[in-house]
Structure 1
């Protein structure tokens, strides 16, 4: 089953089927490790994000379920994150190197890459219990699947439409607040919140694409563009935080200065590029769009 909800089917059954499919895929990645442990973890964590976005859609009528299961999956994902997060920093330096044309900056980035690769390998070697944690995550995924089968929602189209509209409006208002914060005070946390809003919006568009396929696909492509830009911006914020916390990792003062200059310059460029896209992605009124989602759902469900 694809990552979308069919409006002409009972909502609860569709919801459970989509969540179970994503969790089952995560189980296969973690159990079989077809491309190695770290790729398996990366792929599983992407499925966890999709499940958590799906669970947002039932928040108004299943607060306890959503809170409990969101925490279960979030805690599980974090338990597997150390090596993947360290690998992402290496990839971030590679991204910066691909943007750089200055020899001195390239040399500083090469030094940083070596340091971060060594750090990643040390973290990986220190995690002797990683296979056990992956096995535990498989068990937790099965528990999450079992929990789905106790879920009971009102499947009437009007009730489902009202639920979806309420969630949609809340998420859109959060996105608009994040944009305003980014415009007025461009700090890393504001852009991180905007990225999370964009990710959720992109996944919700995918989940509800059957109610208006052409428009949802167009909106999804634009949202994905925003998420990709802000993903790089967030990775640079994480890298900047590590540089400030552990400057000794990154060589002498000249190397450190060139590295920070490359991070800051690229961050500023990404933020400048992302804001107009965000304003376009979230240009429609939150109230109007949420009402339209409800109307389209009821129409498709009938």
Structure 2
């Protein structure tokens, strides 16, 4: 997901979005693992929205298309949430291998699987959600070909990165202060946008952009696990799932909260690395990289 040295930015920007949408359509058509397909498609929507944010000041259709891809993602978000909950439970189980606690994990897992299967029956089979989603993306793919793209160089791109970077810093500070799961999740969304934007701009300086995007990827992995654990706790309480005993229930929540605490400590430290640079200094440096990239494009042209 990056522009090429041999192509103008506008051309590469549209190509990336078309490739991502095409990949999502193929996942919905060909991937026999529906949960993996859903996961991949949701990633596509986030990447496209990051691309739109990068040049939002120069495209009049930003709001319309951002809402489109956001809403398409919401169609399958609940099913993905159940998969995330199951994965979070599995990670907790891996770190607590004592046999005496196995009934707790088994009963919770059975409850999660049962509810996920019921949701799949309703959303995927009765409503044919994935078929409708594929048809919607195929229609959108044709529209993207006619999108007008006229970008004012780094002036536009700098605005896009600055907004995403500053919002990420603000979300980071808020999460560190509040310690609320919703704020850590909001921080993750902002960090994801920045990660994908850096991947798009990789040719500006490949080694540097790779290293930085990888660091942010590590951050979003931590924040993602925190969110999955929060979803797991919410789900158990919302559905009033029954534990083998009160003692087991207390033990389970202690393990969950301790895991969240450790994850958040790591995420905050990782976040300080990822957002350590002053915004203006960052933009000046990226603009210098951009100028070199433009020279390379002209040489190859």
What is the TM-score when the length of structure 2 is the normalising length?
A: 0.91
Q: 2:96 aligns with which of 100, 103, 114?
A: 100
Superposed counterparts of 1:150-229, under 5 Å? 150-155=146-151, 159-229=152-222
Q: How big is each residue's C-alpha offset from its partner over 1:238-291, in whole Å with a ceiling of 9 and x where there is no partner?
A: 112222322235555333322222211111110011101100011111121122
Q: Tell me, yes or no, if structure 1 residue 295 matches structure 2 residue 288.
A: yes
Q: How big is each residue's C-alpha offset from its partner over 1:121-176, in whole Å with a ceiling of 9 and x where there is no partner?
A: 22223335467221211121122222222322334xxx221111111111111111
- 1:36 — aligned with what? 33
- 1:68 — aligned with what? 64
| Comparing 263-272 and 74-83, the one that deviates more | 74-83
**Aligned counterparts of 1:266 and 1:227: Cα–Cα separation in 2:** 16
Q: 1:127 aligns with which of 112, 123, 126?
A: 123
**Aligned counterparts of 1:301 and 1:7: Cα–Cα separation in 2:** 8
| Comparing 16-25 and 98-107, the one that deviates more | 98-107
Cα offset, 1:76, TM superposition? 1.4
- 1:47 — aligned with what? 44
In 2, are the aligned partners of 1:211 and 1:300 still within 8 Å (CA)?
yes
In 2, are the aligned partners of 1:9 and 1:301 still within 8 Å (CA)?
no
In 2, are the aligned partners of 1:42 and 1:84 still within 8 Å (CA)?
yes
Identify unmatched segments of 5+ residues in structure 1: none
Q: 1:58 aligns with which of 55, 58, 76?
A: 55
- 2:299 — aligned with what? none
- 1:13 — aligned with what? 11
Q: Tell me, yes or no, if structure 1 residue 245 matches structure 2 residue 238.
A: yes
Superposed counterparts of 1:268-287, under 5 Å? 268-287=261-280
Q: How big is each residue's C-alpha offset from its partner over 1:50-87, in whole Å with a ceiling of 9 and x where there is no partner?
A: 1111111111111x412111111121121123322212
| Comparing 237-246 and 15-24, the one that deviates more | 237-246
- SS of the equivalent of 2:61 reads helix
In 1, are the aligned partners of 2:111 and 2:241 still within 8 Å (CA)?
no
Cα offset, 1:103, TM superposition? 4.7
In 2, are the aligned partners of 1:164 and 1:293 still within 8 Å (CA)?
no
**Aligned counterparts of 1:163 and 1:20: Cα–Cα separation in 2:** 21
Pair 1:21–1:240, CA change in 2 (3 A): same
Cα offset, 1:298, TM superposition? 2.4
| Comparing 160-169 and 251-260, the one that deviates more | 251-260
Q: Report the count of equivalent residues.
A: 295
In 1, are the aligned partners of 2:195 and 2:217 still within 8 Å (CA)?
yes
